[in-house]
Structure formats: C-alpha cells, structure tokens
Structure 1
Amino acid sequence: MNLPSELLAAASRSADALFADLAHARAVVIATEDGMEVVSVIRNELDAARFSAITSSMSAIGEVVSSETGLGSVRCVMVEADGGYLVMRGCRSGGIGLVVAALVGRDALLGLAIHRVGQAAREFSA
C-alpha cells in the first residue's frame, strides 16, 4: 500500500513524540489496520513488522468484542502483563485505518500511556 507522504511524515513525528513522552517506553508503532508497519520507534530487539501485525489484529478483536457485546465504540485496547503494558487505539486518517500502539514497562504511568496513545490517534483523525 502506498501511503501519502504527508501521512508518513505525520506518523513519524507522532511516533517520535509519543516515545519521548512516555517514561519506560519500549516501543511505539503506527500500523495500518491490516497490519503493515507505517513507522516504529523501538528500544529493543522487537520485530517491528511482527509487532505491527499483532497490534492490528488485537485492535480488530477489540472492535469485534465491543460490537458483539454492545459496549459501543472502542477507545482503547490494553494488555497488562508481568513486564508492562501494551496500549492500542485505532483511528482513521484520510480514509486509511491506522492503529497507534505503545509498549511500556511496568513502571510506566498507565493513565498517561492511555491518554498519550489516544491523543496521538485523535491527531490523525483531525
């Protein structure tokens, strides 16, 4: 998929800012809803392409669960694990579905991570 250069530039700025704003950030990825990496900032040996595919799949599952249970629109999908949190939010930019995801350590402020991922997603939807 060929993405507009403006979208790529905005995604790069957004990912860099999100990574810098989150203490204990391990990775930030912005992916298409079908799992293709748009941009990533990764601190460790995580495979960005695989991480992009996983986050888009999990975001889609969140949408299905929300729809099937009548919960309404998904704001955030989150995974809590022993080593930290994965926070994801879907959005649309110019008709292109995207997923913004941040992987943060256990010492990160979860509320801040949720807020900043949501803020980044809203910026794409503006």
Structure 2
Amino acid sequence: MIRHPKDMAPSLNVRRFGALVVLLTVVTSGYFAVSSLADPGGLVPGGDQAAPRTYAAYMAARSVVLLGGMVWLLARHAWRSLGLLLALNGAVQIGDAAIGAAHHQVPQTIGPLVFAVALLTAARLLTGRNPTRGRIRPTSR
C-alpha cells in the first residue's frame, strides 16, 4: 500500500494543541518584542540608552523571523518542520529560564519553563509518527 504524506499527519487534537502553542508563543513573544522596541526602559533600567535600544531591535528582528516561520509552517500544515521549530524555541525558553534562575528572578524563571514544557510537548507530538485516526493501516501477518 502506498502511503501519502497526509496519512502520517498528527491527530486533530495534536494539531490543535500545536496551533494553540504557536498562537500563545506568537502573542507573548510578539508582545515582548514590540514592547522592547517601543519602550526598552520599561523592561530594564537604563533601557532608553542607545545600546539597549539597538539590542532590542536585534532581538525583535530575530523574533519576527522565528515567529513568522512558526505561523507560516502552521499555515502550510508542515507538522514535522513546525515540530522542529517548536523544539528549537523550547530550547531557547530553557536558556531564558536558566538566565532568570541565575539572576534569582522567579517570574523570569517560571514563565519560560512553562513555555518550554508546552513547546517541547507540542514538538514531540508533532514530530512523532502518529497516523491520523480512521485511516487504513497496513496489517502485519
């Protein structure tokens, strides 16, 4: 039996969970990217100086590319590729949590850890081989 790529699509619940994680990531990361550009001093002391403004612009540019990539892969139903991008974003969130922990900042540790768990869970589910329910599967004899 010839299998088509759509036969190996994740289940509807997995796709919905992945889409929800993408949506929440885009909204929250997008918010921080825009707010860091609009008012860098609101996020960190001394943020209104040239160096933090430049750094905020660099981070916003990277966010636009990564978040745009997530939205594009979701729209294209490229589930395995989206899973990889979610895993990479999960690794970034683990790094952010480590930075928050090193500075003894509880919210900056817990928030990224929650996102890391959601991102890595969605990544695992999307990249796993989960045939869509109700499809004909080859039988072994």
TM range (shorter): 0.3 to 0.5
The structure with the largest alpha-carbon Rg is 2
Which structure's residues are more often helix, by fraction?
A: 2
Q: Decide which structure has greater strand share.
A: 1
Task: Tell me the TM-score normalized by structure 2.
Answer: 0.30
TM-score (norm 1): 0.33
